[in-house]
Structure 1
Amino acid sequence: MDERVREHARTLVDWSARVEAGDDVVVSVEEGAHDLGVAVAEQLGERGANLVATYSSDELTRAYLRAHDGDFDGDPDYERALYERADSVLILKGTNNTAGTADVPDERRAAHASARQGVREARLDTDWVSTQHPTRAMAQQAGMAYEQYRDFVYDATLRDWEGLAEEQARLKGLLGEGSEVRLVADGTDLTMSIAGRTAVNSAASVAYDSHNLPSGEVFTAPEDTEGVVTFDVPMTVRGRRVRDVELTFEDGVVVDIAATQGEDVIRSVVETDAGSRRLGELGIGMNRGIDRVTDNILFDEKMGGTVHLALGRAYDACLPDGESGNDSAVHEDLITTMGEGSRLAVDGETVQEDGVFVWE
């Protein structure tokens, strides 16, 4: 086994999830992440934690959803109970086919997601962390040789997270004290309120209210969105390709959708429920170890010089105690490049210009 796999597992268990002896840990292992699953199991055993492993597969999900009549009964109590009793949930992604669920009808996918919202909420109440094991399918999607892609993944993942957390704290302070953010870029002029919101320093650890490894972003929960935004980073959404998505907002709600490819997919996301018509997240990428787009949201949204906005659910960590943010069965990220001519301003003061922060 590549020693970097073991280092990845140590980082996940110690820095990211902060697992301790006696913790009850659910590990969800996707079909291509077996080696990382073995390394994580070893780390959990050394720390005296309790392990329940589950198996995840796009082919399995496809078979179930395509065979189902689409009339889902609601929350499966047995699965929700598993997460309600867990201290941590570690999600090890590693698909063998990035389009494995591409032919699942959108309405059936949406119905399944809505029926499982209670399960999702229970999982999000744990110290959960999602990470990516490099697979050949992901390398192919990224347009990279397998060995090259493995180097890319570990360069992004095995970092000085403590040092990056200190750098990101500067932006967290600006957003936490600010009231309004404006984004200006090619095809984009968007304003949104962040008044009273908490900005999260997403430094790949639950200690920072961060749940992705790798991470490297600062995010918050916007509202009262106005204007237009163009997402120029190509992505795969629900197993299908989307390009150049343009969304127009009025009174915080999407009122117009256009795209050069995959417009129907974006419409299906927006039409999931009332909350999917609003933004749940504004995230600003700061991980300079991610130097290219790979069509994997876990990496692409963290890349320095990008901003991502998510349709749907807002994270509780960004909200004042007792306040409910945007609620939805979906949380779908879309990314725009902050390149030459772009500007990110907080309360009228420029924080980033041409994709470079004022302090860089």
Structure 2
Amino acid sequence: MDTNILDKYAKTLMDYALFIEEGDYLVIQGYPEAMPLMERCYRIALQKGANPQVLLRHQLDEILLKEGSDKQLAFESPVAEAVMKNVTKLLNIGGTSNTKYLSGVDPKRIAYYRKSGERISQIHRERVERKESDWCLCMYPTNALAQEAGMSLRDYEAFIEKACLLDREDPIAAWQEVQRSQQKIVDYLTGKKTLEIRSEDTHITMSVEDRIWINSDGHTNFPSGEVFTAPVEDSVEGHIRFSYPGIYAGQEIEDIRLTFEKGKVVEAKASKGEGLLQALIQTDQGASRVGEVAIGTNYGIQQFTRNMLYDEKIGGTVHLALGSAYGKSGGKNKSAIHWDMLCDMKQGGDIYADGILFYQNGKFIDKPVR
């Protein structure tokens, strides 16, 4: 990645996405491939008077998942617990040399392993809700991610630049404009009681009464570009077909079709990877319910990349997440998973709020109609 773009990337992450301040305990997690970005973020954090620490990620959990006992899979790391109890800013940088390294692992063991880490994850979620900590997820371009997206590395780097608005002269000002634009959508949806989504092989309804719509404007996720909330837990009804593959732990599940009754998945089918789909839904009681409903607004992202950080933001799509809800949206669903699945709305898709059509064919309508 071009050094000037890397400098912009790090500055935007530190000054806008996480807003690093003096005295912050910043933990940067990433794979060795992302060291150029980690180094720049580390240096900026020092200049700001923060206390940065780097924790390198690895792919050795493949060995644990294949060879470890159930007791070892369930082990709670005291190091991870100490980090989650004390960190004030957490930056996770994705980008590895092999996105398929868990493809040979039994899906049930993956689900069990994820569930075993739930208590420690919950510690951090509760601190975030109390505004004691904050976090951000971003990606560093690698050959593996580029191959997943069907691009060359140079093209993938250009894709990230555009998606993150790093191609702008002042990316922070550009993201501030995104915040203002999306807030108009949030203001419109605030106070609405029902949501209805129609598209090909999809007709789903839910209550969003008394729930909080969130303007996702490049802080928790970078890039971002979505508005979202949590449906009332027992209100989701109908059926939905996800247009794009669902990606979990590097494995693909294709042509996912879910049917809901009283908020719970009662039927789940897939043309590929149905075993993993069923295992994930059975992770725990909350895994079969919707923790998030969202509308993607980043029209700078138009290509499916098999990376949900980008894909769920595609302008002209909606997505549902099975599992844990974000507390700031008013959601109460708890689960060890939060798994986003994506539905294209650009060919005949409609969204209604309280019976009023406000979104059609992948775009918001200037004047909503009943």
Range of TM-score over shorter length: over 0.9
Instruction: Give, in whole Å, the separation in 2 of the partners of 1:62 and 1:96.
Output: 14
1:192-341 matched pairs, under 5 angstroms: 192-205=206-219, 211-223=220-232, 224-319=235-330, 325-341=332-348
> In the alignment, which residue of structure 2 is the partner of 1:208?
none
Is the partner of 1:241 in helix, strand or coil? strand
> In the alignment, which residue of structure 1 is the partner of 2:42?
41
Asked if structure 2 preserves the Cα contact closer than 8 Å seen for 1:31 and 1:96, the reply is no
1:98-117 matched pairs, under 5 angstroms: 98-117=99-118
> In the alignment, which residue of structure 1 is the partner of 2:161?
154
Instruction: Give, in whole Å, the separation in 1 of the partners of 2:275 and 2:106.
Output: 12
Q: Deviations over 1:287-307 (max 9, x none)?
A: 111121111100000010000
Instruction: Give, in whole Å, the separation in 1 of the partners of 2:123 and 2:35.
Output: 25
Is the partner of 1:359 in helix, strand or coil? strand
Is the partner of 1:140 in helix, strand or coil? helix
- Letter of the structure 2 residue corresponding to residue 167 of structure 1: S
Is the partner of 1:168 in helix, strand or coil? helix
- Letter of the structure 1 residue corresponding to residue 150 of structure 2: G
Is the partner of 2:60 in helix, strand or coil? helix
The alignment's TM-score, normalised by the length of structure 2, stands at 0.91
Cα drift, residue 65 of structure 1: 2.1
Asked if structure 2 preserves the Cα contact closer than 8 Å seen for 1:174 and 1:346, the reply is no
> In the alignment, which residue of structure 2 is the partner of 1:77?
78
- Letter of the structure 2 residue corresponding to residue 325 of structure 1: K
Asked if structure 1 preserves the Cα contact closer than 8 Å seen for 2:108 and 2:276, the reply is no
Cα drift, residue 179 of structure 1: 0.7
Asked if structure 1 preserves the Cα contact closer than 8 Å seen for 2:102 and 2:251, the reply is no
Instruction: Give, in whole Å, the separation in 2 of the partners of 1:357 and 1:73.
Output: 45
- Letter of the structure 2 residue corresponding to residue 349 of structure 1: I
Instruction: Give, in whole Å, the separation in 2 of the partners of 1:75 and 1:63.
Output: 17
- Letter of the structure 2 residue corresponding to residue 135 of structure 1: T
Would the alpha carbon gap of residues 235 and 113 (structure 1) be closer, same or farther in structure 2, given more than 3 Å must change? closer
**1:345 lines up with 2:368 in the alignment:** no
What value does the CA root-mean-square deviation take over the aligned residues?
1.4
Q: Deviations over 1:92-141 (max 9, x none)?
A: 11111111111222222222222211221233332010101111111110
Q: Deviations over 1:266-300 (max 9, x none)?
A: 11110100000100000110011112111110000
Instruction: Give, in whole Å, the separation in 2 of the partners of 1:203 and 1:163.
Output: 9
**Identity among equivalent pairs (%):** 32
**1:134 lines up with 2:134 in the alignment:** no
> In the alignment, which residue of structure 2 is the partner of 1:5?
6
Instruction: Give, in whole Å, the separation in 2 of the partners of 1:45 and 1:186.
Output: 51
> In the alignment, which residue of structure 1 is the partner of 2:202?
188
Q: Which runs of 4+ in 1 moved over 4 A?
A: none
Q: Deviations over 1:154-180 (max 9, x none)?
A: 111124111111111122122221111
Cα drift, residue 73 of structure 1: 4.5
Gaps of 5+ in 1: 206-210
